[in-house]
Amino acid sequence: MTRSPLASPFPDLPAVAGVRVAVARARYKTWDRADLTYVALDEGTAVAGVTTRSKCPSPEVEWCRAALTLGHARALVVNAGNSNAFTGSRGRAAVEAIAARVAGATGCRPSDVFVASTGVIGVPLPIDKAEAGIDAVLTAPEASWEEAAAAISTTDTFPKGAIARAVVGGRTVDLVGIVKGSGMIAPDMATMLGFIFTDAAIDPALLQTMLAAANIRSFSCITVDSDTSTSDTVLAFATGAAGNAPLTTMDDAGADAFQAALTDLCTQLAHLVVRDGEGATKFVTVQVDGAVSDESARIVALSIANSPLVKTAIAGEDANWGRVVMAVGKAGEPAERDKLAIRFGATQVARDGLAVEGYDEAPVAAHLKGSDIEIGVDLGLGDGRATVWTCDLTHGYISINADYRS
């Protein structure tokens, strides 16, 4: 797989106190690379998570949802190459076997073990390979964040990680995250998985609230192809090793700073996913202002970001703002044609329901030749606003998904 032209280098990421990472070769596919990632978490680690809203979720998603209600974690296992989705009772048995194996070896409870899998759908995860992989990873040397980011990947073209920091109660806490995929980007139903680790001390219920708030502004605001996976999962683990006075409410000193850092981290990770969108050559920011609510703005922005005609126009560096009008119109949200304004980059192209007088396409054409594209829409109705991110739709997307035989 050719590395995405929008790829970023992997950043320097520090170890997070209370977190130990290792990888192993379970050989879920016929490849010679690490595909099982294990993260050991110190006693007292809080956990929060958001998962796919698919009506056909994987058994891993169901397992994590149940475990998240308890709020505590001691281990994370990530399998790459097989999503274990749509596999009935055999799939559920595989997840239970993994949790039991880890619990038996480490003395924690099975419900302290979080499991995520990504890859082909409809093939039960082979329990023998998973158990052998776990046995190997438990005695493996510590791995780097970059090795872990690579081991959780499937058809990703580069490993993805990010960092943010916040000062909480006089202590600086680190937030480190790794992520793979880009919605339903991969030929075999591989998915978006994100894992965040922090040494902050924070109550799991508050962490859940903060993660949900960060998610709605980040992972829920990206799209590559509008296809939602059966396994999307983002988990956040907080070990408490930083020794700050534990955060328990949004009123605590440092809670706002931690929320800002968490949202920043999730946004960085979400952007990396878009930058590895299948066939992507342009990173596109869609900003909608003037909607009747923030949620309405998000729906309109996603309608634009998911429109095949908008995405192909961007791929063709075509200032076809009529397609943006079309995408606003089809969103189903409140919009008034004669109040609508549209810009590409800094150039206004339409206002009050028609093209601006003396519209000069040259600066727009120049903007579209770049790799970072911005589309701005003002609905002129209220204060609702949202930003979403996507990529263009190119021959590369078709090649990856139609020319490839799964």
Nearest to 198 by CA among 166, 232, 169: 166
Q: Is 198 a catalytic residue?
A: no
List binders of a second copy among 301-360 (CB under 8 A).
306-309, 312-313, 315-316, 318, 320-323, 325-338, 340, 350, 352-355
Contact window for a second copy (CB under 8 A) among 26-34, 269-277, 283-291, 395-403? 395-403
Residues paired with residue 384 on neighbouring β-strands, in sequence order: 291
List binders of a second copy among 56-85 (CB under 8 A).
56-57, 85
Nearest to 206 by CA among 242, 163, 245: 245
Shortest gap between Cβ of 352 and a second copy (angstroms)?
Answer: 7
The residue count for binding a second copy (CB under 8 A) is 72
Q: Is 187 a residue that touches a second copy (CB under 8 A)? A: yes
**The two structure tokens encoding residue 106:** 């480490």
Residue found under tokens 């990396």:
272
Q: Which is nearer to a second copy, 30 or 55 (CB)?
A: 55
Which listed residue (191, 263, 267, 387) is catalytic?
Answer: 191
Q: Which is nearer to a second copy, 241 or 319 (CB)?
A: 319
Shortest gap between Cβ of 292 and a second copy (angstroms)?
Answer: 12
Considering only 88, 104, 170, 370, the residue that binds a second copy (CB under 8 A) is 88
Contact window for a second copy (CB under 8 A) among 68-76, 103-111, 180-188, 263-271? 180-188
Shortest gap between Cβ of 322 and a second copy (angstroms)?
Answer: 3
Contact window for a second copy (CB under 8 A) among 64-72, 167-175, 283-291, 398-406? 398-406
Cα 225 from Cα 393, distance rounded (Å): 8
List binders of a second copy among 219-248 (CB under 8 A).
225-230
Shortest gap between Cβ of 283 and a second copy (angstroms)?
Answer: 16
Considering only 90, 109, 165, 171, the residue that binds a second copy (CB under 8 A) is 90
Q: Is 125 a residue that touches a second copy (CB under 8 A)? A: no
Shortest gap between Cβ of 299 and a second copy (angstroms)?
Answer: 12
Q: Is 54 a residue that touches a second copy (CB under 8 A)? A: yes
List binders of a second copy among 258-277 (CB under 8 A).
none
Show the binding pattern over residues 130-159: x = contacts a second copy (CB under 8 A), - = does not.
------------------------------
Considering only 3, 33, 369, 395, the residue that binds a second copy (CB under 8 A) is 395
Show the binding pattern over residues 363-392: x = contacts a second copy (CB under 8 A), - = does not.
-----------------------------x
Q: Which is nearer to a second copy, 135 or 352 (CB)?
A: 352
Active site residues: 191
